[in-house]
Chains A and B, each alone.
Chain A
Amino acid sequence: MQGPAAIAEENGGVIAFETPLALDSGGELAGLEIAYRTWGTLNSARSNAILICHALTLDQHVRGAHPLTGKPGWWEGMVGPGLPLDPDRHFIICANAVGGCMGSTGPSSVNPQTGEPWGLSFPVITIGDMVRAQARLVEALGIERLFAVIGGSMGGMQALQWAASYPEKLFAAVVIAAAARHSAQNIAFHEVGRQAIMADPDWREGAYATAGVRPEKGLAVARMAAHITYLSEEALQRKFGRELQRDGLSWGFDADFQVESYLRHQGAAFVDRFDANSYLYITRAMDYFDLAADQAAGLAGAFAGARDVRFFVVSFTSDWLYPSHESQTIVRALNAAGARVSFVEIASGKGHDAFLLDEPVLRAALAGFVDSAALAWRAP
């Protein structure tokens, strides 16, 4: 057992890798750096490590104040003492995805060959590339096999990719509000966001950093459109209805309705913490995601090596971004592959973002899964 000093331990940093990262596109990425944070202590058997994979616009700041916004971490309700993912027991890692803008190499990083920001010369990356980079980090931290890989949304896709690419390197996988491939509707919404960014004159074909400007309007619109998909009709109606900002209509195009003001605020706050090119690259990576591609046996074929991995798949009834049937497709493929899988569709009116909000059913179910998996993992 670790003492109280070890329990409180928080760590992290940036690891630079000498050898380039091989990419699914056939290219490679030189000068790879990964920014990450950890909570808790790796035990002497190196068997208590949990990798959390973040969603599209989130980052490694799972707990604690965000360095840019000062807001609490995005999974404070799930990660902490007495919570399902407990730094007193687990060594918890979260890394900024490759292509991101919170310290890991992405399009806003400097291309070591030119000394200029990458911009659009940054190679197109995939979920598989992000996971390959995470696997390097995990190895660098001295961990041969993770106890669990856990993620929601894009993080859930990464957890699936881990099970498909490195089944021998994880004991359990938790896939929350995700899908094994991007649907036409998913791609369509991302395309709206990308077009909004690229239509902003300040985008400058991606070279805005060199020009000293930022495509803030385009990125804000992209965020506004995406944010609607993270909520549900019910949640929007309950929160805002047709409530007005002021007494009476403006008979113009000000934000008359509270929902308009809310979305504008979401857009404006987002540009302070996110990079427009990162948004293009990461949405592209998600659109390219299709675990069943190149599999003659379909999705089950992708999990052929993962029958010893314990899976927990979670969906939410009101999630229309990655609806429950996407999770059911994953579960059926895992059953067909002979893997051990638990699945629950949680009743929630909060839409896709339910996985980030206070959901007692999710918390209890995740605790049950993690605790029983930990028992099985320790058993010979």
Chain B
Amino acid sequence: MSSVRADFAEIMRLVKPGARVLDVGCGSGELLELLVGQSGVDGRGIEISPEGVAACLARGLSVMQGDADRDLDYFPAGAFDYVILSQTLQAVARPRHVLSELMRIGERAIVSLPNFGHWRVRLDLLSGGRMPVTKALPEPWWATANIHLCTLADFTDFCDELGLAIDACAAFAGGRRARAIDPKGAFANLRAEQALFLLRRG
């Protein structure tokens, strides 16, 4: 487990073995394969790139080529125990719609995102006066897929507005192990480079 990415390790800790899981934006299926192989979940994935889907199929995963903005609408309510959206919410066209759909089709959602309120991001913008480029946000503004960045505080407000309860929150950075945090606690918004939330309908 030591070689597993920090956010993947945290997700594997949160997901109950044998659960029905949908990984939205599953890439080449790394996380899904871990969940299926090690946690025995009934796993499915959605991935926008055909190369990613082909890689998933070669791993023997059930994955469909699709778009989080559009294709979640067709799943029945409560179809999954967990719906995972890893580092993707900030890149979708309609974050509110996508998060609402996640909570409709899943009993719980696991959402991770880069925190635009992290002190390095703030310092970069304050000192340079230009869009921040950091480890968690490595692309320049004109090349990034991240069109809906938000801070930890923005996201907790958003959850309140959508009536979602935050059952767990962890901060992580780079390869270091995730640590549990209170996302509304003092300095959490400054200190978390990336955050991962376990959500349910409140």
Are A and B physically bound partners? Answer: yes
Does B50 sit at the interface, judged by CB under 8 A?
yes
Does B190 sit at the interface, judged by CB under 8 A?
no
Q: Are A364 and B76 in contact (CB under 8 A)?
A: no
Q: Are A342 and B74 in contact (CB under 8 A)?
A: no
Does B66 sit at the interface, judged by CB under 8 A?
yes
Does A369 sit at the interface, judged by CB under 8 A?
yes
* Cα-based distance from A144 to B13 in the complex (angstroms): 42
Contacts of A323-375 to chain B: CB distance below 8 A: 328, 331-333, 335-336, 338, 340-347, 361, 364-365, 367-369, 371-372, 375
Cβ proximity bits B61-72 to A, threshold 8 Å, 1 near / 0 not: 111111000010
Q: How far is the CB of B10 from chain A (nearest CB, A)?
A: 27
Does B44 sit at the interface, judged by CB under 8 A?
yes
Contacts of A328 in B (CB 8 A): 66
With most chain B CB atoms within 10 A of its CB, the pick from A313, A338, A340, A372 is: A372
Interface SS, A side:
helix
Does A310 sit at the interface, judged by CB under 8 A?
yes
Which of B52-60, B112-120, B125-133, B144-152 touches A?
B52-60
Q: How far is the CB of A342 from chain B (nearest CB, A)?
A: 5
Q: How far is the CB of B117 from chain A (nearest CB, A)?
A: 36
With most chain B CB atoms within 10 A of its CB, the pick from A345, A346, A365, A367 is: A365
Contacts of B75 in A (CB 8 A): 335-336
Q: How far is the CB of A145 from chain B (nearest CB, A)?
A: 20
Does B79 sit at the interface, judged by CB under 8 A?
yes
Q: Are B50 and A344 in contact (CB under 8 A)?
A: yes
Contacts of B50 in A (CB 8 A): 344-347, 361
With most chain B CB atoms within 10 A of its CB, the pick from A332, A335, A375 is: A335
Contact of B57 among A332, A336, A364 (CB under 8 A): A364
Contacts of B54 in A (CB 8 A): 344, 361, 364-365
Q: Are A372 and B74 in contact (CB under 8 A)?
A: no
Contacts of B44 in A (CB 8 A): 340
* Cα-based distance from A341 to B57 in the complex (angstroms): 11
Q: Are B74 and A375 in contact (CB under 8 A)?
A: no
Q: How far is the CB of B4 from chain A (nearest CB, A)?
A: 22
Q: How far is the CB of A355 from chain B (nearest CB, A)?
A: 15
Contacts of A126-185 to chain B: CB distance below 8 A: none
Show the binding face of A for B, using Cβ within 8 Å: 310, 312-313, 328, 331-333, 335-336, 338, 340-347, 361, 364-365, 367-369, 371-372, 375
Give me 27 A-to-B residue pairs in the complex whose CB atoms sit less than 8 angstroms apart, sorted by A's number.
A332-B74, A333-B74, A335-B71, A335-B76, A336-B74, A338-B79, A340-B44, A340-B62, A341-B62, A342-B56, A342-B57, A342-B61, A343-B64, A343-B65, A344-B50, A344-B54, A344-B57, A344-B64, A345-B50, A347-B50, A361-B50, A364-B54, A364-B57, A367-B58, A368-B60, A369-B57, A372-B60
